[in-house]
Structure 1
Amino acid sequence: MFQQDIFYKGGEHAVLLLPGLSSTPLEMRPVAKALHRDGYTVSVPHIEGYGLGSPCTHWREWIVAARAKYRELRDTHETVSLCGLSMGATLSLAVAEEEPDVTAISVLAVTLVYDGWTIPLAYPLLDLLYHLPFGNRYRYYEKAPFGLKNERLRARVEKSMSQHDASEIGSASLPIEHLYNARRLASHVRNRLDRVTADCLIVHAVDDDTASPHNARIVYNGVSSDVKQKCLLGESYHILTMDNERETVADETRRFFRDAVARRTGAATSETRIISKALLRAKRRQAAA
């Protein structure tokens, strides 16, 4: 129902989008559509063992699968950029660490540390629980606000999770095996951030309920990108691609990729950069703080 790949055929420049842990390609559809309107070929794959509805595989297999999807695009397109949400942003960084010809990367609500305000205080003990007898029976159950500040969308997701045990933003619960492997992936990526040289856009919510803005600072300070930008938003929670500022997220990503492709290919760009009102308000709040 939710696992079907999204693929929009476009021009010679492509983007690989990666949704969050145990989530679905639908989570990335607003960004995918915006990029396709700009002429990009866009691929949002369902990765077995990582995405919704499949038994968990080892985190290294997630990287192998994502790199394979990247190379499929790279073999047939002039440039390929990456965009990921949550653990998908972390996985995108893992690909960029291994693939030096990535043109640009947009990391949305990147999750290297689960330290948001809805994360249980006992979460740091997860590794210990994982290795205890019967610890593999533990599941983390999603609860309100489900990463969404928009109450209408939150209600829709909650209804879908109660009826189908899942929604477009993913499973209603996460097995401990997924969480354990996600932590291993995050540690791996964090230790190798200096290998990322692609142009890097980092977008994060100030009130992210799953991963605090500390995650954005880690990435910004860690990557070796010559061009890097950090954008903090004030009207969303964790699921940036679907929440109140989803249009801002899509616009900032497509403009960043447009400029990165122009730098890579030497092409001129004539589009005037227009900052959305929501982003302008967020920037003013940051300056006042």
Structure 2
Amino acid sequence: MIKLVPPKPFFYKGGEKAVLLLHSFTSNTMDMKKLGKYLHKENYSCYAPLYSGHGLTPEELLTYSPSDWWQDVLNGYQLLKDEGFKKIAVIGLSLGGIFALKVGQELDVNGVVTMSVPNHREASFLQKRVSFYAKRYKQLEGKTEEKIDLEMKLLQNMPISSLVEFQQLIDVTMDHVSLITSPICILYGELDEPLYKESAETIFRSVTTNQKTIKGYPNSKHLMTLGNDINDINKDILLFLNNLTW
């Protein structure tokens, strides 16, 4: 059986402009590496935390909750502060986008970029995401189909309290989007589920700031930072960041 090497946070130190990069649910910091490297070349300093349990076995993932992942985000923000960065922008994808909105509501940020943000997700849907991740993870470990089927049945019986908390996190964060007064850039993939476009439009309408943009990308699915529109997305994010007051 193959032991998978867990992913790690990354920190690309550049200039005085700092960006906090937040990855998606059941994924890891690889979501943000291409964007981070691109922004680093443009003299931005980029830090991407890894949420607790992510990149580990699905069984371990379910022992953590959104409150743990939010603490990882807060720790990442504080790391940048401790490094001496006075102004921080935040960029998030999917769950990371929810956290980016929450950062924009509760912390002092220079700007917010969201990608593929859901306005609602049932815990049952999130459980399917975990199951998809679990099967893929176990296949990569080299386990037999028989062993995978057995472990998947056991996984189905694990408590999903963390996923119920995740559902509640999305709802509460979306209910308080009007608290965001920082400039915001809202992006979605046009090949993604329609709810993500609806969510983007809801965020655009609801934020208090007048400095807001919204854009859909014709060749992008959910993981926009790894998709076919990556070059346009990177350029648009850079333009947004460059237009902020640093």
Instruction: Specify if TM > 0.5.
Output: yes
Once the 2 structures are TM-superposed, how far is the Cα of residue 162 of structure 1 from its aligned partner?
3.6
Q: Within the alignment, does 1:221 sit opposite 2:205 as a pair?
A: yes
Residues 79/161 of structure 1: CA separation in 2 closer, same or farther (3 Å cut): farther
Once the 2 structures are TM-superposed, how far is the Cα of residue 72 of structure 1 from its aligned partner?
1.9
Report if the CA contact (8 A) 1:63-1:94 is conserved: no
Any stretches of 5+ residues in structure 1 without a counterpart?
A: 115-123, 131-135, 144-157, 166-171, 266-289
Aligned counterpart, 1:8: 12
1:70-97 residue CA offsets vs partner (Å, 9 max, x unmatched): 1221341131100011111001111111
Instruction: State the secondary structure of the residue aligned to 1:35.
Output: helix
Which residues of 2 match residues 78-117 of structure 1 at below 5 A?
78-99=86-107, 101-114=108-121
1:135-164 residue CA offsets vs partner (Å, 9 max, x unmatched): x9x874339xxxxxxxxxxxxxx9887424
Once the 2 structures are TM-superposed, how far is the Cα of residue 45 of structure 1 from its aligned partner?
1.1
- Whole-angstrom distance in 2 between the partners of 1:247 and 1:2: 27
Residues 139/111 of structure 1: CA separation in 2 closer, same or farther (3 Å cut): closer
- Whole-angstrom distance in 1 between the partners of 2:89 and 2:14: 14
- Pairwise CA RMSD: 2.9
Aligned counterpart, 2:55: 52
- Whole-angstrom distance in 1 between the partners of 2:194 and 2:131: 13
Of 69, 73, 84, the residue aligned with 1:62 is 69
Of 11, 31, 37, the residue aligned with 2:35 is 31
Residues 164/238 of structure 1: CA separation in 2 closer, same or farther (3 Å cut): farther
Q: Which amino acid aligns with 1:79?
A: K
1:215-235 residue CA offsets vs partner (Å, 9 max, x unmatched): 101211121122000011111
- Whole-angstrom distance in 2 between the partners of 1:199 and 1:212: 20
Residues 259/161 of structure 1: CA separation in 2 closer, same or farther (3 Å cut): farther
1:153-200 residue CA offsets vs partner (Å, 9 max, x unmatched): xxxxx98874248xxxxxx99974453232111011011111111110
Of 230, 239, 252, the residue aligned with 2:236 is 252
How many percent of aligned residue pairs carry the same amino acid?
22
Q: Give the alignment's TM-score, normalised by structure 1.
A: 0.69
- Whole-angstrom distance in 2 between the partners of 1:64 and 1:20: 15
Of 78, 81, 86, the residue aligned with 1:71 is 78
- Whole-angstrom distance in 2 between the partners of 1:140 and 1:210: 21
Q: Within the alignment, does 1:126 sit opposite 2:124 as a pair?
A: yes
Residues 185/52 of structure 1: CA separation in 2 closer, same or farther (3 Å cut): farther
Aligned counterpart, 1:17: 21
Once the 2 structures are TM-superposed, how far is the Cα of residue 244 of structure 1 from its aligned partner?
0.5
Report if the CA contact (8 A) 1:59-1:184 is conserved: no
Q: Which amino acid aligns with 2:65?
A: H
Q: Give the alignment's TM-score, normalised by structure 2.
A: 0.80
Any stretches of 5+ residues in structure 2 without a counterpart?
A: 143-151
Report if the CA contact (8 A) 1:34-1:251 is conserved: no
Instruction: State the secondary structure of the residue aligned to 1:241.
Output: helix
Equivalenced residues, count: 223
Once the 2 structures are TM-superposed, how far is the Cα of residue 113 of structure 1 from its aligned partner?
2.2
